[in-house]
């Protein structure tokens, strides 16, 4: 049964203010000769901190951990040194392979790429070793092989309280009114997405439905990316409307099912370009009227630019642009 009086409440990010190994050591030191009751409710965080806490629990020798809410990643490692582990019947439990932040944005030559590849290989080797060590720790508690636990970590899916007990991560399932069922709020869902943790299929508050439904759909799409997809693909093509693209400052426009979507900014750019061309035409017309009122130079030859294949003047180019724009807007 869960303990009503906890010596430690470890919540939030492992390694953060509420889940700190130094504070754990302090509390364990104050209760050397008695059972220390610990409540854990965390989505994970620092593996290093979790390993330190697990070792501290093991060295103390009489720590009872109780899980409530949604617990994942490093939060599941922290309890591996506990003497007893219980879980609320509504709680969730997740183990997965370790990950490390990696970001590189640069111009690289061949030597730089070789160095980056070597760095990635070293990072992979380190993660493989870490996964192996943690799988061995899980296996020790679950009384299963490391290979079985590595396979489970690779899947990285959520376990119910009953499944966590069947695997051997916990010793007992409790049902206490004091333990509230996990709530999947926008903040929790956002934290899961940032950490690459899949969204569990549990009830959510109405105010969070839209955002969480989006995240669930996102992870569902990612998980199905390697399976067959019978849905009809979008018919995409690129349109090169020279004058329109010039007005928007882009090389081409993508049409989906013969329709083009423009942003408000792009629509304003088109309007500005059309207004500028209209002002130019108005100015040219005024100049033509002025020239008509002036005496003309004598000439014996009349040249028809159209028959000579002359280039289009600005007014004609503008007319072409307008026609292209009209056709494009009609297709939207």
Residues 63 and 208 in one domain: no
Residues of the chain with pLDDT > 70, as a percent, come to 65
Same domain, residue pair 216 and 171: no
CA distance 81 to 60: 9
Q: Do residue 172 and residue 58 come from a single domain?
A: yes
Contacts with 203 (C-beta within 8 Å, 6 or more apart), sequence order: 184
Residue 55 in contact with residue 27, Cβ under 8 Å?
Answer: no
Residue 321 and residue 211 share a domain = no
Question: Looking at 88-97, 230-239, 251-260, 318-327, which range is the least confident one?
Answer: 230-239
- The number of folded domains in the chain is 3
Most confident of 142-151, 172-181, 251-260: 142-151
Q: Tokens standing for 2?
A: 């869960």
DSSP H helices in the chain: 21-30, 47-60, 74-77, 110-142, 146-155, 161-167, 186-195, 209-223, 242-248, 264-292, 314-331
- Alpha-carbon distance 194 to 165, whole Å? 28
Distances (CA, A) of 16 to 49, 55, 57, 130, 212: 9, 18, 18, 21, 25
The confidence score (pLDDT) of residue 315 equals 63
Classify residue 126: in a domain, yes or no. no
pLDDT tens figures, 203-237:
555 544 555 555 555 555 554 444 444 444 456 66
Interatomic CA distance for residues 332 and 320, integer angstroms: 19
In a domain, 150, yes or no: no
pLDDT for residue 303 is more than 70: no
Domain range for 5 is 1-96+156-182
């Amino acid at each position: 049964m869960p303990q009503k009086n906890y010596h430690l409440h470890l919540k939030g990010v492992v390694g953060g203010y509420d889940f700190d190994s130094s504070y754990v050591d302090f509390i364990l030191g104050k209760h050397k000769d008695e059972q220390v009751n610990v409540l854990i409710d965390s989505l994970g965080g620092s593996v290093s901190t979790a390993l330190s806490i697990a070792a501290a629990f093991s060295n103390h020798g009489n720590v009872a951990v109780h899980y409530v809410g949604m617990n994942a990643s490093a939060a599941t490692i922290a309890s591996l040194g506990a003497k007893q582990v219980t879980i609320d019947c509504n709680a969730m439990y997740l183990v997965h392979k370790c990950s490390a932040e990696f970001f590189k944005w640069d111009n690289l030559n061949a030597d730089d790429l070789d160095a980056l590849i070597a760095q990635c290989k070293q990072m992979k080797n380190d993660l493989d070793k870490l996964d192996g060590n943690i799988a061995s720790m899980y296996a020790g508690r679950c009384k299963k092989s490391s290979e079985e636990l590595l396979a489970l970590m690779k899947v990285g899916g959520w376990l119910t309280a009953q499944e966590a007990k069947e695997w051997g991560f916990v010793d007992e399932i409790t049902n206490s009114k004091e333990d509230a069922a996990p709530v999947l709020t926008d903040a929790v869902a956002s934290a899961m997405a940032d950490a690459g943790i899949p969204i569990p299929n549990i009830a959510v508050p109405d105010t969070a439905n839209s955002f969480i439904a989006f995240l669930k759909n996102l992870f569902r799409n990612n998980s199905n990316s390697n399976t067959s997809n019978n849905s009809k693909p979008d018919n995409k093509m690129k349109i090169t409307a020279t004058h329109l693209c010039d007005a928007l400052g882009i090389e081409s426009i993508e049409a989906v099912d013969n329709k083009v979507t423009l942003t408000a900014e792009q629509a304003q750019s088109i309007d500005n370009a059309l207004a500028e061309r209209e002002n130019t035409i108005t100015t040219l017309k005024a100049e033509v009227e002025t020239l008509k009122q002036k005496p003309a130079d004598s000439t014996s030859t009349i040249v028809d630019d159209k028959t000579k294949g002359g280039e289009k003047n600005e007014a004609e180019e503008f007319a072409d642009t307008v026609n292209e724009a009209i056709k494009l807007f009609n297709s939207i």
